Chains A and B, each alone.
Chain A
Amino acid sequence: MKKLFLILAGLTALFLAYATYLALKVAPTDALQGDVYRIIYYHVPSAWTAFLLFFINFIASVQYLARTKALLQKAVQWVVIAIGVIGVIATFLPQVQALLPTGMRPSAVATTVLAIPAFYFLLGWKFPGDRMDMLALTAAEVGVVFCTIVLVTGPIWARPVWGIWWAPGDIRLTSTLVLWLIYVSYLVLRRFSNSAQTQIIAAALAVFGALDVPLVYFSIWFFRTQHPQPVIGGGGSMDPRMLHTLLISWMAFLCFAFLVCWSRFRLELLKREAEQAEAMESLVGAGSTAKASLPLSRSAR
């Protein structure tokens, strides 16, 4: 396992180096913005990766909550199947297509809708029992790291292009900051709460927190915002070399995120192993103390 991880880490490092080479050397310079536009090759893939991780956190949290009761678990499974089937059919109805923002392809919406049952059943199968909660925690933590990068690189791009670091009141920027704050509060809750209900409360918080993800994503379609309009699926156009570089960068960051999640998940496994060992030791310690004090209590009787 360790050997496989090292091989994948080496390949990912090469992939990231190649993506950076494409971003800095191969992709053409933007006629209006100059070289600073190349920040999108880090900013946009980081945002997409963060969204994906928060989506995984959402699915894992729903699964974890659903597993508390067998009937609830069955009901949620049917709801997820219904979302997939009805969602895909609906996206091809002309009435629903008329509601979609300009430039958004129905096939892209259908794929996104299908991802919900696909992820739900795949994760449910691969992460049994308490591992689902560990996956939710892992995805949230790594998602926050990627979201932090989005919030740092965005203003660095905005300063030379807009002339300001931050546009106060802009819905895309504000909702992204709120999203980051929600998941930071999720991590704070997980870190500092000692209640037996922490995992359930955190899962419920994650389910509500995930509602901000579509708001962030669709804000540039539905609201007037200073943030640039989407060039993929939003009716805009992009030089094929730029698009190629952007997609390669995203693939490279996805591989990197996968490895970081793998490490974080292994760490969580080890942590729970240590907690169990410690609990066992204190239990054994308490047992031997009770045994030692038994003759005393008998003689006292």
Chain B
Amino acid sequence: MTQTTTPSAQTAIDTLQKTLQDQLYVADRSLAISIYLALKLKRPLFLEGEAGVGKTEVAKVLASALDTELIRLQCYEGLDVNQAVYEWNYSRQLLEIRLLEASGQIDKDRAEKELFSEEFLIKRPLLQALEASGDTPPVLLIDELDRADEEFEGFLLEMLSDFQITIPELGTYKAENPPIVIITSNRTREIHDALKRRCLYYWIDYPDFQKEMQIVTSKVPGASKSLAEQVTAFVQELRGAELFKVPGVAETLDWTAALVGLDQTELDPSVIDDTLGIMLKYREDVQSVRGEQTRALLNRAMNRGTRRGGRRG
């Protein structure tokens, strides 16, 4: 078999996966490849998936793995340039005018230049990310882009294509070392294709039993092995139930931590019913699961555990 593979790429991917693992993030190899390529090609990575599957976490972990700054822009409806890029510090500008006046040295042209200088500029995340200097570029996390409106997407598209921003009063800022951009979306709406085309795309799914078990044990070290196994099996079953909002990994972790806090070493129906609210966030979902269905799901989860145990033994 001819080896067309450069061993360095394979090693790099392996190392990356290992580094993420060290940061307590369990990543599939395919995700590691996406991250590797995003770094190599210097392209934004677009992560999509249901809420609570660990999209935001990727950026955080990556920043700490690369030992660089994480700059986060949380999107919301109506997010505009003033909140995302820059804003002038108006109150300080007004104060400055009064000071200049008081000292009697007001000169229209000069005052304008002074007032609209970098001193009075409030830099928001996108500008910060372009300005950052250092050996490793910062990780720019644009979180939950689906919440922002289409106008902002248009702006972002422009910024991501040449990593520069123009402020009319000051001129153009261009990144010397473009940031590592990670965009996440919960897919409450489709992001425009034009933007996604520029990015590497990765869909993060709910983890399977093995992977989720790994996540639980590494993130909640206080949980006994049997509890972690039961919790994971139960959540896996719960995801198959007919729910309005299926619990994510974040919920699994919260729940495990809560159970550990309650000194539980085993799952039982009553404790599940009491703590369902940690996993299910809709009243209807809690109502439909509580009681009988809890017992049925738990039974299935336990059986699954023994099946697995049997196969191993």
A and B assemble together: no
